[in-house]
Amino acid sequence: MLFFSGALFISLAVCVHLTPYFPSVSDFVTSVQSVVIFDNRDDSCINLVNEVVWDMKPMRNWGWSKSWKVMACEFQKLGKGDISDLLNGSWVVVAGDSQSRLVVQSLLGLVLNSERMESIKGDLFRRHSDYGIVVEEMGMKLDFVWAPYVANLSNLMMGFKQNRSYPDVLVMGAGLWHMLHFTNASSYGVDLKSLRSSVVVSVRSPHLFWLGMPMLINGMLNTEEKREKLSDEMWHAYDKVLRDSRLLHRYGGPCLLLDIQSLSWNCGPRCTVDGMHYDGAVYEAAVQILLNALLIESHQKLIT
């Protein structure tokens, strides 16, 4: 399924990249080849897309860093219309634990009105369950797959492979359940490596994202077991094996990180009640990071 309507691509290409070079859209349309010039910058922008800063006063507000490098990428918070264009006809799958479910909530919150949001909340938050919705007005199919362990994500990849049917966008993330119930970073690392090999062998690769683990605020965790097992040391050990697994784009892997760690760290203790699940603003920022990354990636796709 093609991902972007031509109209969105052109208007964004013009406003993001071409304004200084082409005085009008018609110039752009007759010189599509010229887009290639901007390839390199797209690549560096992918590495900057997580550079978000928070302004807590008067309320939780976030935006991309104002450093000149980040400014040059002209990241933008997409509204409902642009998201509809961007995801029109797409199949989006978000798989993981409750962090992933919160990402789904934030994505839907950007495209559905509040009554519709209220009406789906019961189903979306049914404990330990999958959830699926087709948003007809924008032609988007969105599935949340409850997959608290990396092994569940590998199974999901196998399912796609067997069905020969891959989503256009796949967001995955798991770690905290393993940390709580196995508390063994090297075993987590083994699972990640096997996930990586199942991802790499897929024929038609979706746009892949990895939802990072949030910062854990130990003293706020709500059970004694969590406070004991989800320690800072263990968190860092899990984070290290994630880096070593080469699952992430930054380390030569297929998945772009949605950096919940830095988003949650920067939003801070005021943004969580249980030291683990954060306010909607954190996940909404992650969704906007994902959307901006998709814009950049699909430029590259359309060019080649």
- Which chain residues interact with ligand NAG by CB under 6 A? 84-85, 88-89, 137-139, 146, 149, 151-152, 156, 159-160, 163, 165, 184, 186-187, 190
**In whole angstroms, how close is the CB of 148 to ligand NAG at the nearest point?**
6
**In whole angstroms, how close is the CB of 88 to ligand NAG at the nearest point?**
4
CA distances from 176 to 97, 98, 255 (A): 8, 10, 19
Closest CB to ligand NAG among residues 189, 275: 189
Closest CB to ligand NAG among residues 106, 154: 154
**In whole angstroms, how close is the CB of 165 to ligand NAG at the nearest point?**
6
E-assigned strand segments in the chain: 52-55, 61-64, 91-96, 131-135, 140-146, 169-173, 207-211, 256-258
Closest CB to ligand NAG among residues 100, 264: 100
CA distances from 49 to 46, 92, 210, 256, 287 (A): 5, 20, 14, 10, 11
Closest CB to ligand NAG among residues 63, 89: 89
Closest CB to ligand NAG among residues 31, 197: 197
Closest CB to ligand NAG among residues 131, 160: 160
Q: Which residue is nearest to ligand NAG (CB)?
A: 159
**In whole angstroms, how close is the CB of 68 to ligand NAG at the nearest point?**
34
- For residue 70, which amino acid is it? V
**In whole angstroms, how close is the CB of 279 to ligand NAG at the nearest point?**
27
How far is 57 from 122, CA to CA, in rounded Å?
A: 32
Which stretches within the chain are classed as H helix? 6-13, 25-29, 39-46, 68-73, 80-87, 98-111, 114-124, 150-163, 176-181, 185-200, 224-229, 232-244, 260-267, 280-303
How far is 283 from 153, CA to CA, in rounded Å?
A: 20
**In whole angstroms, how close is the CB of 198 to ligand NAG at the nearest point?**
12
Using the structure block, give the residue that is written with the tokens 């807590």: 56
Cα of 257 vs its chain's centroid, Å = 7
